[in-house]
Structure formats: structure tokens, C-alpha cells
């Protein structure tokens, strides 16, 4: 009987196996060539266009530093997009610097942009959002050009045979030309007749998702001595939310606060409705504990829009010029409830209820219509039109 050292035998077999599969010089060259080609589209944690960019330092200029006590991911992603559970945040796919034209919808960077449009968690993980259309892109560019020496727009996708808008013809903004199939894929719009440009834009530093502990010093970080704050309670329709943010911007309100259950303000439908206002208005996402901290810090009067109902146990005041004049000099919060359920019980009990008088059998208006009326009537004295 012959004894065999199994450890030594294994090592001999491994060495023999390795020798049997040693690559030739030709195989090495082919392998290196394949790796060089693949590296052009490797998933990377580095910036889309900058080597120093990462999810935790997405804004390098002082104007775009993320605040403390905030999170990267949106507070309630399951209500934002149906596909969030299927599209988990992954490392970023960079666009090679030599690419000036994209013609295939299967391009990895096109797929990356589609995920940005479809998934809230993917957007907030990367700190990037897609804006469709020349007008909102122009408004965003012009607004942030005043406040930052670095363009908030990282890349423009321009339809073939179309020119970059003159107002955005900035050498610091990268331009990639695409065909109609690619622009349709990225935008999600079936009819691209009116879509000539899409912008890849950084989510602004004026958007915050606060943690459970909100400190008084953070209040001034989010809202600097606010006189008017719009609070949205479970607004799930992105068209309504976007319209409300745009109205708040138009009537010079100081900020928007999103309670749990609201949709993502950077949803593509919300962006189309707000037409760039989400990039101009401070927006904070949190809960009622944070609202209470804001109320105490700024001595805010709490009002809530509510339809007049005969069986409502809480008294409801009518919106009128006299009522608006009585609160014109007072800092206040206006709370608006969701389209179907209306105000939450907490909102009804924490606020004075105000209704818009209406003729006929109508009890309520669409929340974006009602919100526009409330915000116009309840403007601060200094912002009222002469």
C-alpha cells in the first residue's frame, strides 16, 4: 500500500492544470484588446464628467454643498415610481469623453438616463435628474447662473439638425447630439415634435431630506426667516405637486415642505408641470415633528385649506379679503391635503381650517387650483401686487 501526501498531490495537480492553460502571446493580446473595449463602458463610481464626483460629494462648488442631517435617498420611495423596486441604485455609468453623438437606444448611457427618469431612488442616489424642453431648461440655467460659477446643467442632449439654445450655449456644458429614437427613449414622450433638447441636471442644494432630529440652526439653513411656507400633505399626483410649486414660486412664497406620502418633486411629470420651479424654490421633505420645530422657531401661524362640510366638528373660516388682510403681516404655513383623502387628521387638528367660498353644489376644487387661490390671497404684505 502506497501512502500519498494529498496536500502535495493537490498542489502538483493545480500546478499541472495551470501549466496546461498558460495563454499564448496572441491570446494575451486578444484579451487586452477586449478589456480595452469593455473599459469604455464599465460601471464606475467616478463622476459622469469629473474624477472627483461621488454620491456623497455630488456638488463641489460652495453653492451646491449638501447639508448636514440629510439623506441621499428620498424618504418614501414606494409612492414615487412604480419601478423603484425593480431599479435599485447602482454605480454610475460614465459617458466616454470622446462621445459627441449617440444613435442607439441600447447605449449604456441612454439606459442610465432612462433609469434616472423612471426611478426616484436612482435619481436621488446619483443626484441627477432629466429636464425636457427648451423653456424649463433655459429658466433653470439662467436662475442658477446668477448663484453659481459652475453650471447646474451637466449635459445637453440635442436632437439632430437642431441648435443649442443661444442662452445655454456655454462651453462648460457638454453637448451630445442624438436622433429622434434616442430622444424619445430618454424623454419618455412618444411625440417628440416639440422636444429638441433634454438636459441632465444636478438636483439643487435647495432640496433637503431631513433626518428625524431637526435642530433650530437647521431651520435657518432650509428657510431663512420665512414668511410663507407651503406644506403639502400626501400630494401624490405629480402634475398637482408641480403646479403648486410653480404657483408658490410665482407668488413669492419662501419654500415648500413635503410631508410623507408626497410624490417626488423631480418626477418627470412634476417637472413638466412646475417648468423648472423645483430648481428655484427651497423644498424640504420631512414630517410633522419638523413642522413643529419650524413653527416654534419662526412663530408661524398654521392654516389649512379645507372644504366646508356641515358635519365637520372643527370650525372652518371663509377665505376673504378681510381674512387675508388680517394675516398679511404674520408668518404662516399653509397646509394642503391630498386629492382623494384631503387633510390628515393631524393636519386638521394642528391648523386653523380655511375654506374657499363657492357657489352652487360644488364642495371642493382641484388641489392645485385651490392652492393657487390660497397662495395668491395669502401673500405676504411685502409681496402683494400694487
The per-residue pLDDT of the chain, averaged, comes to 75
In whole angstroms, give the CA distance from residue 192 to residue 167.
Answer: 22
Question: Within a domain: residue 10?
Answer: no
Question: Is residue 25 in a domain?
Answer: no
CA distance 237 to 234: 9
Residue 8 has pLDDT above 50, yes or no: no
Residue 3 has pLDDT above 70, yes or no: no
Question: How far apart, in whole angstroms, are the C-alpha atoms of residue 71 and residue 253?
Answer: 25
Residues 72 and 186 in one domain: yes
pLDDT at 334 over 70: yes
User: Per-residue pLDDT for 205 more than 90?
Assistant: no
Q: Are residues 353 and 321 in the same domain?
A: yes
Q: Are residues 95 and 173 in the same domain?
A: yes
- In a domain? residue 26: no
And the C-alpha cell for 149? 460659477
* Phi, psi angle pair for 21, to nearest 5°: -115, 25
pLDDT of residue 336: 94
188 and 266 fall within a common domain = no
User: Cβ(70)–Cβ(208) under 8 Å?
Assistant: yes
22 occurs within a structural domain: no
In a domain, 9, yes or no: no
Evaluate whether 383 touches 255 at the Cβ level (below 8 Å).
Answer: no
In this structure, of 44-48, 212-216, 229-233, the range with the lowest mean pLDDT score is 44-48
pTM of this structure:
0.72
Alpha-carbon torsion (59, 64, 65, 67), positive or negative: negative
Same domain? 273 vs 308:
yes
Tell whether 310 is covered by a domain.
Answer: yes
CA atoms of 141 and 307, how far apart (whole Å): 39
C-alpha to C-alpha distance for 315 and 140, rounded to whole angstroms: 42
Residue 9, pLDDT above cutoff 70: no
Q: Look at residue 23 and tell me if it is in a domain.
A: no
What residue numbers bound the domain in which 341 lies? 207-383
Q: Which of 109, 144, 106 is CA-nearest to residue 130?
A: 109
Domain count, the chain: 2
Return the percentage of the chain with pLDDT > 90, whole number: 30
Summarised one tens digit per residue, pLDDT across range 281-291 is: 899 998 888 88
Q: Which DSSP symbol is given to 203?
A: P
Q: Select the highest-mean-pLDDT range: 40-44, 92-96, 277-281.
A: 277-281
pLDDT at position 317 is 86
Q: Is the pLDDT of residue 157 over 70?
A: yes
Dihedral angle, C-alpha 201, 207, 212, 218, nearest 10 °: 140
Buried b (16+ CB within 10 A) or exposed e, 333-356: bbbbbbeeebbbeebbebbebbbb
- Bigger pLDDT: 107 vs 25: 107
Cα separation values, 107 from 101, 191, 370, Å: 11, 21, 44
Same domain, 344 and 264: yes
User: How confident is the model over 206-224, as pLDDT tens digits?
Assistant: 898 887 666 666 767 788 7
371 and 244 in a common domain: yes
192 and 212 share one domain: no
- pLDDT > 50? residue 19: no
Boundary residue ending a domain (202, 217, 250): 202
Angle at which helices 238-250 and 367-377 pack, to 10 degrees?
Answer: 10
pLDDT at residue number 193? 73
Q: What is the CATH number of the domain that holds 320?
A: 3.40.1280.10
**Domain final residue pick, 202, 222, 249:** 202
In-domain check, residue 2: no
Of 151, 175, 202, at which residue does a domain stop?
A: 202
Which of 29-43, 185-199, 308-322: highest mean pLDDT?
A: 185-199
Per-residue model confidence (pLDDT) at position 241: 96
pLDDT at position 153, please?
Answer: 87
CATH code where residue 156 lies:
3.30.1330.30
Strand residue runs (E) in 2-86? none
Q: Give yes or no: residues 195 and 282 share one domain.
A: no
Residue-wise pLDDT for 53-94, tens only, equals 333 333 332 222 233 333 333 334 334 444 444 444 556 666
Q: For residues 139 and 215, state if they share a domain.
A: no
Asked if 220 and 368 sit in the same domain, the reply is yes
Asked if 305 and 373 sit in the same domain, the reply is yes
Amino acid at each position: 500500500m502506497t501512502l500519498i501526501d494529498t496536500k502535495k498531490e493537490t498542489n502538483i495537480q493545480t500546478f499541472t492544470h495551470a501549466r496546461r492553460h498558460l495563454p499564448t502571446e496572441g491570446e494575451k493580446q486578444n484579451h487586452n484588446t477586449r478589456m480595452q473595449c469593455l473599459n469604455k463602458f464599465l460601471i464606475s463610481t467616478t463622476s459622469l464628467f469629473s474624477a472627483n464626483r461621488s454620491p456623497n460629494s455630488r456638488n463641489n462648488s460652495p453653492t451646491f454643498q449638501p447639508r448636514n442631517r440629510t439623506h441621499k435617498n428620498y424618504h418614501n420611495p414606494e409612492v414615487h415610481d412604480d419601478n423603484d423596486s425593480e431599479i435599485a441604485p447602482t454605480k454610475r455609468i460614465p459617458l466616454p469623453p470622446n462621445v459627441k453623438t449617440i444613435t442607439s437606444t441600447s447605449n449604456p448611457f441612454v439606459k442610465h438616463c432612462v433609469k434616472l427618469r423612471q426611478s426616484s431612488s436612482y435619481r436621488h442616489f446619483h443626484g441627477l435628474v432629466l429636464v425636457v424642453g427648451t423653456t424649463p431648461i433655459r429658466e433653470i440655467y439662467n436662475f442658477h447662473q446668477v448663484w453659481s460659477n459652475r453650471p447646474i446643467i451637466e449635459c445637453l442632449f440635442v436632437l439632430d439638425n437642431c441648435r443649442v439654445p443661444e442662452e445655454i450655449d456655454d462651453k462648460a456644458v457638454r453637448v451630445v447630439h442624438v436622433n429622434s429614437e434616442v430622444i424619445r427613449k430618454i424623454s419618455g414622450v412618444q411625440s417628440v415634435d416639440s422636444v429638441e433638447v433634454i438636459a441632465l441636471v444636478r438636483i439643487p442644494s435647495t432640496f433637503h431630506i431631513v433626518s428625524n432630529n431637526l435642530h433650530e440652526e437647521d431651520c435657518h439653513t432650509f428657510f431663512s426667516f420665512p414668511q410663507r411656507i407651503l406644506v403639502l400633505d400626501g400630494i401624490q399626483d405629480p402634475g398637482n405637486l408641480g403646479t403648486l410649486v410653480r404657483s408658490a414660486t410665482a407668488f413669492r412664497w419662501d419654500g415648500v415642505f413635503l410631508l410623507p406620502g408626497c410624490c417626488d418633486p423631480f418626477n418627470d411629470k412634476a417637472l413638466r408641470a412646475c417648468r423648472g420651479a423645483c430648481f428655484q424654490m427651497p423644498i424640504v421633505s420631512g414630517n410633522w415633528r419638523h413642522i413643529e420645530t419650524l413653527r416654534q422657531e419662526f412663530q408661524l401661524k398654521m392654516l389649512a385649506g379645507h372644504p366646508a362640510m356641515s358635519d365637520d366638528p372643527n370650525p372652518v373660516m371663509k377665505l376673504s379679503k378681510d381674512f387675508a388682510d388680517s394675516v398679511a403681516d404674520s408668518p404662516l404655513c399653509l397646509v394642503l391635503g391630498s386629492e382623494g383623502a384631503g387633510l390628515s387628521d393631524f393636519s386638521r387638528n394642528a391648523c386653523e381650517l380655511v375654506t374657499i367660498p363657492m357657489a352652487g353644489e360644488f364642495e371642493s376644487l382641484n388641489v392645485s387650483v385651490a392652492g393657487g387661490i390660497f397662495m395668491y390671497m395669502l401673500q405676504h404684505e411685502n409681496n402683494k401686487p400694487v
